[in-house]
Structure 1
């Protein structure tokens, strides 16, 4: 089998550039590489520095290049510029800004799309290099970010004019390579295994009964993982599935999991309502066809059906239905997406039953481009509530 090579996420290269620029300001010398503590995972790696130079007094710029490993990542080899300048009037010791090519979050007053892990990575690596009284401003620039963003789904999540520094780890796994499935399955087995002793200690019969201790949350992509963490869902329950939902569902049941909460962007999870269990767009799509079918099922008029079917994206179709509701005081969004969420649950349960001859609780929670949850299936609501300690979920 061909081995796949992991690389690093964009925040790691931005952080490496910041370290190199700060070292130049302190020591007036360039370095060929710097050590970066990834934090997640707990690992120190060496990142090459392409160039570093002073710009003005108290200002330095370093350039790195993205290396995502064998991942099918459009940022491969793109330059990352990191400008560091002393800024004693700053309110914080380290101020992080997004420059050209870093996207803006539409619904956050134009805030730069630099997320939690990237900020944590920068601060924890830079703070030990600073004197207590020193303050710096770090500006990250992606010269090719604006053009690259046009080839992503960033706009569907409310990020415009560039790329986001998103991620929960410093490692860029080859998500589309077969080896990644084994990595994902290994994580699933590890987390499922840690649930079993808890159930056995409580004397529970795992063949017919489950409480919150036997639920896992399948997060489809980084956006789902990040939002699930913001909701304070325990991290030991979270499993990132990427596009491998079919094999992951089956393996969860083999490992004794009794409840699975599917947590993801509606434009991705909708494929499961049509029986598509490998969700990469290169293999299968059908989102608008599935959405139109459910619109027809709940009685949406023909002219509106045609509008949904010819929408450019699933997000555009959702916006159209929301506008229709606002104009006519109707309830189409809830009707349509409740039907879809129920179909996701039923199709997933049927898929599992076909491959394992076992029944299991599957619920779904869907969010939109603004990372706002707008529909939960009945079982999705029960499983999410159990995870958040609101009540106990029973699965027979």
Structure 2
């Protein structure tokens, strides 16, 4: 069967769209309901998505028994595949004793264990839009077959528990498998948007758990340093990846009281220059920023040239250390970082930062960082642990 032939421009390329796990689940439910209610084994189904795009999905692994039928759809991530690309999404549909539509998750579909997500605690991690899509397909199949009783659909993903370990689900308190997602039904090959959406979800979950003071790290280096070197607990922690500016904006809007950023110098030196998306494709001002602050601290021309030619910030730190300028330069970077962060956060959100090197340890802090460090070393009162 031909793949979804829908393309969008991304930069200089045209990338092919795919369809979400929610669309897969709805299509599989449509096929299983048709088999159950009419006895017909359909090779494929065509369903409308909320994006207004019709998707034709091939139906695989047909099975049926007394009062039930099942089939599967293979996830197509298009040119922006995530960890679920190629996974089989199954739907088993059975007649129910009570009227209406019941939707639940089976093997490989996670369960929500913490508040703040799309579904309540205890529910299968099948979001609202996929639930609506599945229900619409079951209602349509029942109407065509003249069936007026109830139907129960169970969505499963045999690989889901293993796949979930490569997603944000464990940190968000979704256990046992993946989430069935998709607000539009279509996967658009823009992974940045998906990452930011996941970050916002995690932050919202922390806020729903009562967290007011947030700990942010750009990546695993920051998380490890915060836990192992600084002795911080991670009850209030989120990883913001390259999207520091987006995280600060969301924290301000979500009503957090403070944000403490702990990151490697290689990341936060970019923020000190005003680059709040730290991906190298967006901005990589590390050597320019380091050189500029060294010049402000009185470095000579030879040192400035050596700093400008450094391949890493750690190499630059070693040069500054040898020249006796490490302290003044890091202090200058810390002052610039403090200004950029407070300008982005605005009046209502307290924000501080600490930056480090794996080789040299703590390199600098913003003026109020010690207060927030002490707060994050203490056990939070009445907050739900996570992360």
What TM-score comes out, normalization by structure 2 length?
0.52
The match for 1:328 is none
Q: How many pairs were matched up? A: 242
Write out per-residue CA displacement over residues 14-43 of structure 1, whole angstroms, 9 at most, x where no aligned residue.
11010001111222111111011111x122
1:200-211 equivalent positions in 2, closer than 5 A: none
Could you say what secondary structure the match of 2:140 adopts?
helix
**Matching of residue 101 in structure 1 with residue 115 in structure 2:** no
Cα drift, residue 116 of structure 1: 1.0
Equivalent residue in structure 1 for 2:89, among 71, 80, 95: 80
The match for 1:50 is 60
**Matching of residue 159 in structure 1 with residue 174 in structure 2:** yes
1:249-264 equivalent positions in 2, closer than 5 A: none
Write out per-residue CA displacement over residues 295-341 of structure 1, whole angstroms, 9 at most, x where no aligned residue.
xxxxxxxxx85433xx8xxx46749xxxxxxxxxxxxxx99953449
Equivalent residue in structure 1 for 2:24, among 13, 30, 53: 13
The match for 1:296 is none
The match for 2:14 is 3
The match for 1:89 is 98
The match for 1:221 is 197
Could you say what secondary structure the match of 1:221 adopts?
helix
What is the rounded CA distance, in whole Å, between the counterparts of 1:135 and 1:227 in structure 2? 38
Higher fraction of strand: 2
What is the rounded CA distance, in whole Å, between the counterparts of 2:272 and 2:134 in structure 1? 40
Equivalent residue in structure 2 for 1:350, among 274, 281, 286: 274
Cα drift, residue 223 of structure 1: 5.9
Equivalent residue in structure 1 for 2:259, among 338, 341, 344: 338
Contact 1:167 1:222 in 2 (8 A): no
1:139-288 equivalent positions in 2, closer than 5 A: 139-176=154-191, 220-222=196-198, 224=200, 270-271=217-218, 286-288=221-223
Cα separation, partners in 2 of 1:5 and 1:226, compared to 1, 3 Å: farther
- Determine which structure has more spread, i.e. the larger CA radius of gyration: 2
Equivalent residue in structure 1 for 2:37, among 19, 26, 46: 26
The match for 2:247 is none
The match for 1:377 is 349
The match for 1:60 is 69
What is the rounded CA distance, in whole Å, between the counterparts of 1:42 and 1:226 in structure 2? 29
Could you say what secondary structure the match of 1:307 adopts?
coil
What TM-score comes out, normalization by structure 1 length?
0.51
Cα separation, partners in 2 of 1:361 and 1:49, compared to 1, 3 Å: farther
Cα separation, partners in 2 of 1:9 and 1:73, compared to 1, 3 Å: same
What is the rounded CA distance, in whole Å, between the counterparts of 2:161 and 2:135 in structure 1? 26
Cα separation, partners in 2 of 1:49 and 1:287, compared to 1, 3 Å: same
What is the rounded CA distance, in whole Å, between the counterparts of 1:116 and 1:348 in structure 2? 40
1:306-317 equivalent positions in 2, closer than 5 A: 306-308=230-232, 315=234
The match for 1:38 is 49
Cα drift, residue 288 of structure 1: 2.5
Cα separation, partners in 2 of 1:134 and 1:336, compared to 1, 3 Å: closer
Cα drift, residue 149 of structure 1: 1.3
Cα drift, residue 138 of structure 1: 0.3
Could you say what secondary structure the match of 1:130 adopts?
helix
Contact 1:66 1:80 in 2 (8 A): yes
Cα separation, partners in 2 of 1:3 and 1:103, compared to 1, 3 Å: same
- Cα RMSD over matched residues? 4.2
| Runs (5+) with no aligned partner, structure 2 | 1-11, 115-119, 208-213, 239-254, 263-267, 277-282, 284-339, 352-387
Cα separation, partners in 2 of 1:23 and 1:226, compared to 1, 3 Å: farther
Could you say what secondary structure the match of 1:338 adopts?
strand
Could you say what secondary structure the match of 1:3 adopts?
strand
Could you say what secondary structure the match of 1:45 adopts?
strand
Contact 2:22 2:180 in 1 (8 A): yes
Contact 2:60 2:73 in 1 (8 A): yes
